Amino acid sequence: MLQRLPRINTAKASGVEFLKARSQVLTGLFHFWNMHTVSSNSVGVVTPQTLHFDTPLPLKSGAVLPAFDLTYETYGTLNAERSNAVLVCHALNASHHVAGTYADAPKNVGWWDNMVGPGKPLDTNRFFVIGVNNPGSCFGSTGPKSINPGTGKPWGADFPVVTVEDWVAAQARLADALGIETFAAVMGGSLGGMQAMQWSLSYPQRIRHALVIASTPKLSAQNIAFNDVARQAIITDPDFHGGHYYEHGVVPRRGLRVARMIGHITYLSDDDMAEKFGRALRAGNYGFDFEVDFEIESYLRYQGDKFSDYFDANTYLRITKALDYFDPAAEHGGDLTRALAQTQTDFLVVSFSTDWRFSPARSHEIVRALLNNKRAVTYAEIDAPHGHDAFLLDDARYHALVRTYFERIAQEVGA
């Protein structure tokens, strides 16, 4: 049932509420929105754009990224006051393609198309939504596959390690170029949620709301371990060539496959895997060899093969390192309350009960630190069986919650 705890009546913390979503949570709210939804259509055909930046980008490592490109997409219309802009930050293997399709690839649907669009929880009839591909990625923005102006060859292993802080700094450059001084909200799931949190720290005056979904204030030792095993699978692939495999015309495909298989296991819950696959056999009996016996093996190998066809190994290494390095409390003696003291942002924090990659306990840390600073925060834990990937899936309670929160933002900014 829906539980609303008392508001915290302090001068700096008006409008704080906690939501704990369990079985029948938000049912009535969903029925209300089901009757009043405008349209569930996609934003339709979209066209990515690329901006070039001549001013170098200093990085947290001390390295400097010279002139660079950012690829992005927009949906909806920026209002005259420029107050209705929402930045959607992508997770590990996603990109700027948040919603809609491409004219030449109609099956290439945006990774959060169920969340962003006309009449959807993030309603593009009311908000101007931006999706941007971060530096270091492999979907159009400057990354390891791009040409290093100093050598005339692909950056490869020479591309610097980037961090969440670096990405947010690059996103701020894009906002400047688009004439957006303040975001109505910055939103993301998983690694995207870390970026939303970092926005509230790096640019506290430029963000009204942060939606941090299925995320964490830092990775656990277990999560770092999973990431390193995945990186070692790539680095030890004979086709990796120290990260300069482009010059050899090969791809460390075997390493990428294994890395993706490892990662994918962490995105699903045990219950979800049991329900989808159990111990079902591919051929109905054991093969007594080392080929595929179980359906779960077939599924993971398929995911690995598909991933290795479109993702870049050097990008995978850098994005997982950015995950490992994110820890805003580190500069404050490990005290997250002190780290979040500078934020002036209202927060929506959402977790999922079966997410063991970034468990609800990690979201509780964020909420507790915000409350210690008397910040306005809404928290919901959704009882969903799908593990970490739940933030990408259709769930009436989850979507109703996000829709209601954006309705509040729309009223606040006049969208």
Q: Which residues are catalytic?
A: 190, 355, 388
CA distances from 200 to 54, 193, 214, 330, 400 (A): 26, 11, 17, 16, 24
Residue 22, both tokens: 């369990």
- Angle (nearest 5°) at CA 14 between 10 and 16: 105
**Side-chain half-sphere CA neighbours of 406 within 13 A:** 31
Residue with tokens 């990774």: 111
* Nearest residue to 115 (alpha-carbon basis) of 106, 124, 126: 124
Q: Tell me if 253 sits within 8 A of 306, measured CB to CB.
A: no
- DSSP code for 234: H
Strand partners, 388: none
Whether the Cβ atoms of residue 174 and residue 55 lie closer than 8 Å to each other: no
Q: How far is the C-alpha of 117 from the C-alpha of 260, rounded, in Å? A: 29
Hey, is 340 helix, strand or coil?
A: helix
Report in angstroms the alpha-carbon separations of 332 from 59, 107, 327, 393: 20, 46, 10, 35
Q: Are 42 and 98 in contact (CB under 8 A)?
A: no
Q: Which amino acid type is present at position 79? A: N
Angstrom distance (rounded) from CA 333 to CA 344: 21
**Burial track 283-322 (b if 16+ CB lie within 10 A, e otherwise):** eeeeeeeeebbeebebbbeebbeebbeebbbbbbbbbbbb
User: How many C-beta atoms lie closer than 10 Å to residue 221's C-beta?
Assistant: 6
- In this structure, what token pair is assigned to residue 288? 């007594």
136: tokens are: 């270091």
